[in-house]
Amino acid sequence: MHDVISPVTEQVVATVPSSSVEETDAAIARAHEAFRTWRAVAPGDRARLLRRFAALVDEHNEELAQLEVRNSGHTIGNARWEAGNVRDVLNYYAGAPERLSGRQIPVAGGMDVTFYEPLGVVGVIVPWNFPMPIAGWGFAPALAAGNTVVLKPAELTPLTAIRLGELALDAGLPEGVFTVLPGKGSVVGERFVTHPLVRKVCFTGSTEVGKRIMAGCAEQVKRVTLELGGKSANIVFADADLARAAAGAPGAVFDNAGQDCCARSRLLVQSSVYDRFMGLLEEAVKAFRCEDPALESAQMGPLISAGQLSSVRSYVDQPLFAGSAPDGPGYWMAPTVIEASSVQDRHWREEIFGPVLSVLRFDDEADAIRLANDTEYGLSGSIWTGDLGRGIRVARGVEAGNLSVNSNSSVRYWTPFGGVKQSGLGRELGPDALAAFSEVKNVFFSTEV
């Protein structure tokens, strides 16, 4: 058994079982058994079951959101959005079963057609930073494409995933089609990698663990999707609407207390407007509301754990300025801004995964692109400019999977999401995700007599 701790109160909020290797194997065997019938369910029926699952998630939006506030310290506003995202992703992929059609390709002497075949059992490994959305991005397209799913939530944040597993059964998904297995990464997660009946691993988390998972999957040439770390740049040009860029910059990095793989944790500001921009930013950071996440007004809650708090604090030596955070119990840290003295600073280079923004100035467009790309990561980023041509050039020049121009938003369930370089492999969401949960099979039918 494992105690789940609230990061707001430091009190135990629930105790959940830690699945053993034997229990994991048994669940994988059941998922494999269920695959035979699930793949054969008529497309329209599979679609209807996923829509019913989505409807139940919607009905339980407030319950799921409150559970996430208690377990993860997410702000109530974010948590409602997150539960809504699971609903939307399920509804979006519920449109897939009847549309997952192959092709007919002209050949001599017969007919050639392709099929999208499901893979089998898919293992989804979820981190603690966005327990609901990241679970849904894996299980919804996997189920829609005809796979069965075993899902391991992060040990710190299993409660909403467990609830989603119950709602799936209530919606009528057959036993074994979607199983949530709380437990340790080193036990349940590793077993997804080594068990031969798990045909694909869909992992979100640290780059370090992601590399080990990829290496482990290579043993069986197991399919893998990786969504890993980031150190994304927010680039502000002198010709931008500085007030808008400054107003958006705190949310772009401090949302979810900075525990976001898309966090714009490196701010690049053009030298000619540096002082003016930093004045506006300081005002916005000081107004950013870090408080009890159950309050409707909260913009940021605590960090997930004592360990994460001490890891994040170790990066902050001399802050330029900071906002405020509550005292007392809870893993609180005020939103903090630091100036980089060079691109070698540890806080400039490493993914901190906390409410810390590193700032550096740049001279011109080429300099901005070079600095933005001077990282092993490439997940997201923002470009603020009033010049359309510049916006296009820089968006094409920055090496990242998801960029926004004059905006900080990176996630829409119907557009592709994922990283380049060491930020990951493969794409989730959008129309292409289904291909990552299917194999193309080609069949030639001879018409020779």
Q: Which residues are catalytic?
A: 227
Comparing CB distances to ligand NAP, the nearer of 206 and 406 is 206
CB of 309 to ligand NAP, least distance (A): 11
Where do we find the tokens 């996997």? 142
| Size of site (CB under 6 A) for ligand NAP | 26
For ligand NAP, the binding residues in 252-271 under the rule CB under 6 A are 261
CB of 174 to ligand NAP, least distance (A): 26
Rounded CA-CA distance 71/260 in Å is: 17
Q: What track of x and - describes contact with ligand NAP for positions 224 through 243 (by CB under 6 A)?
A: ---xxx--------------
Comparing CB distances to ligand NAP, the nearer of 122 and 269 is 122
CB of 207 to ligand NAP, least distance (A): 7
Burial code (b: 16+ CB inside 10 Å, e: under 16) for 112-128 equals eeeebbbbbbbbbbbbb
Token digits of residue 436: 């990552």
> Segment near ligand NAP (CB under 6 A), from 48-56, 108-116, 123-131, 159-167?
123-131
Rounded CA-CA distance 334/325 in Å is: 5
Among 8, 57, 126, 240, binds ligand NAP (CB under 6 A): 126
Q: What track of x and - describes contact with ligand NAP for positions 202 through 221 (by CB under 6 A)?
A: --xxx--x--xx--------
The residues facing 200 across adjacent strands are: 122, 223
Comparing CB distances to ligand NAP, the nearer of 114 and 305 is 305
The answer to the question of residue 428 lying near ligand NAP (CB under 6 A) is: no
- Tally of CA atoms within 13 A in the half-sphere of 33 that contains its CB: 10
Helix axes 43-59, 159-170, angle to 10 degrees: 130
CB of 424 to ligand NAP, least distance (A): 8
Comparing CB distances to ligand NAP, the nearer of 46 and 191 is 191
| Cα separation values, 358 from 22, 290, 365, Å | 45, 19, 19
CB 171 within 8 A of CB 56: yes
For ligand NAP, the binding residues in 142-201 under the rule CB under 6 A are 152, 154-156, 184-186, 189-190
Please name the residue ranges forming H helices in 323-377. Answer: 346-349, 365-373
User: What amino acid occupies position 30?
Assistant: R
User: What end-to-end distance do the CA atoms of the chain give, in Å?
Assistant: 65
In three-state secondary structure terms, 106 is coil
CB of 209 to ligand NAP, least distance (A): 4
User: Residues interacting with ligand NAP, by CB under 6 A?
Assistant: 125-129, 152, 154-156, 184-186, 189-190, 204-206, 209, 212-213, 227-229, 261, 351, 353
